[in-house]
A = this chain, B = another copy of it.
């Protein structure tokens, strides 16, 4: 419980730093008998990896994953699955000056206060590079959930800076580097990003992530509510500053007569709840939205201090994402999958004998946030 292990039954322990020899994770608790190979994991890693368009960091990492354990003759054995990703493009350069100053908006100052020292190379442990092993682990969770329950995870960018991106078509998400569900808006996004990069600044984004065909009954009533664990998972992603379930902050101005999703024999008539009532999944789509802050490493000069608390100025050059939100989509999907997976196992542990006489009612209604 020292902060690098995620989950209670499907446990993922993450290790590594941005510029160390390797990053990776150990997945403990995976059900046995799941067919699994590197090729099940690599596609999601490829969606997240850097260097794939001019709008993300130009660091060139293949992010090739190696399964070190837990798989025998092509199926999981139920014992820990260790995944290793070697770092290959750690540029050797002098980080000594970085060690002495604190970049505004960065973890430099807080790490130093916490540990008394820090690994400055590429952000060390604070780097978003550490999300790669989570994407890998999420791919395993996704596969089991899909085979066992038919669950699907779909995420997309719903806003970048001031540009709201409409949900036009899921099929378009994979066809542009922004994970935008609207092909028509892509040129506008590209122009926006090009201007931003030129200015030396960065911007924020909003990502929406959903899960379909989620088993009912997932989540514990009091603390490990499904939505609480989702909030924990999402807020733990680098740069995330806000999390919403269903209508999210929209509920502040809703009336009860508007918010509470009515039920019919055909299913819920709306999905303001985002798939969770009382912390427990209803079988509707999970709908989650996150706010990703603008990248802290920018070329524009910022006021700061050094380790002697003396004033200084910081400009950050090098390879950085001008909008870290762009690559956040597969990460958010993976984290949502890990939460659902963990609760699917927890649910059958305690309630494996529960049976209810009637089938679950249908999932998301046309009026759902995803609709």
CA distance A348 to B28 in the complex (A): 15
CA distance A300 to B261 in the complex (A): 13
Is A113 in contact with chain B by the CB < 8 A criterion?
Answer: yes
Which of B77, B118, B126 lies in contact with A117, CB distance below 8 A? B77
Point out the residues of chain B lying under 8 angstroms from A233, CB to CB. 228
Q: Is the CB of A5 within 8 A of B28?
A: yes
Is A177 in contact with chain B by the CB < 8 A criterion?
Answer: no
Of A41-49, A168-176, A180-188, A277-285, the one contacting chain B is A277-285
Question: A277-308 CB contact bits vs B (8 Å, 1 = yes)?
Answer: 11111110000000111111110101111011
Q: Closest approach, in angstroms, between the C-beta of A370 and any C-beta of chain B?
A: 16
Q: Is the CB of B11 within 8 A of A2?
A: yes
Q: Is the CB of B29 within 8 A of A68?
A: no
28 inter-chain pairs at a CB distance below 8 angstroms, sorted by A residue, are A5-B11, A11-B13, A14-B80, A15-B79, A16-B82, A21-B68, A29-B350, A32-B117, A77-B117, A77-B125, A79-B119, A105-B277, A108-B277, A110-B276, A110-B278, A114-B219, A161-B252, A203-B255, A227-B241, A229-B232, A241-B247, A242-B242, A243-B243, A244-B249, A251-B292, A259-B294, A308-B358, A352-B352
CA distance A32 to B280 in the complex (A): 15
Point out the residues of chain B lying under 8 angstroms from A79, CB to CB. 4, 15, 17, 119, 124-125, 221
CA distance A297 to B292 in the complex (A): 34
Task: With A228-B236, A241-B247, A262-B304 as known contacts, state yes or no: A256 contacts B295, CB within 8 Å.
Answer: yes
Q: How many chain-A residues does the 8 Å CB contact rule pick out?
A: 165
Question: A87-108 CB contact bits vs B (8 Å, 1 = yes)?
Answer: 0000000000000001111111
Q: Is the CB of A303 within 8 A of B3?
A: no
Q: Is the CB of B263 within 8 A of A303?
A: yes
CA distance A84 to B358 in the complex (A): 37
Task: With A118-B77, A243-B243, A361-B305 as known contacts, state yes or no: A17 contacts B69, CB within 8 Å.
Answer: yes
CA distance A309 to B263 in the complex (A): 9
Q: Is the CB of B221 within 8 A of A252?
A: no
Point out the residues of chain B lying under 8 angstroms from A311, CB to CB. 264-265
Point out the residues of chain B lying under 8 angstroms from A28, CB to CB. 2-5, 13, 15
Chain copies in the assembled complex: 4
Point out the residues of chain B lying under 8 angstroms from A244, CB to CB. 241-242, 249, 291
Further 16 A-B residue pairs, CB within 8 A, beyond A114-B216, A256-B295: A2-B220, A14-B80, A32-B117, A79-B125, A110-B280, A114-B354, A116-B354, A162-B253, A203-B256, A204-B251, A227-B236, A241-B248, A249-B249, A254-B294, A265-B311, A269-B303
Which of B252, B274, B305 lies in contact with A204, CB distance below 8 A? B252
Q: Is the CB of B282 within 8 A of A109?
A: yes
Q: Closest approach, in angstroms, between the C-beta of A151 and any C-beta of chain B?
A: 15
Task: With A4-B80, A116-B33, A221-B125 as known contacts, state yes or no: A300 contacts B14, CB within 8 Å.
Answer: no
CA distance A118 to B356 in the complex (A): 12
CA distance A231 to B291 in the complex (A): 13
Q: Closest approach, in angstroms, between the C-beta of A138 and any C-beta of chain B?
A: 14
Residue among A21, A116, A126, A261 with the highest chain B CB neighbour number at 10 A: A116
Is A225 in contact with chain B by the CB < 8 A criterion?
Answer: yes
Q: Is the CB of B3 within 8 A of A223?
A: yes
Point out the residues of chain B lying under 8 angstroms from A260, CB to CB. 103-106, 294, 296, 298, 302
Q: Is the CB of A124 within 8 A of B4?
A: no
Q: Is the CB of B4 within 8 A of A1?
A: no
Q: Closest approach, in angstroms, between the C-beta of A161 and any C-beta of chain B?
A: 6
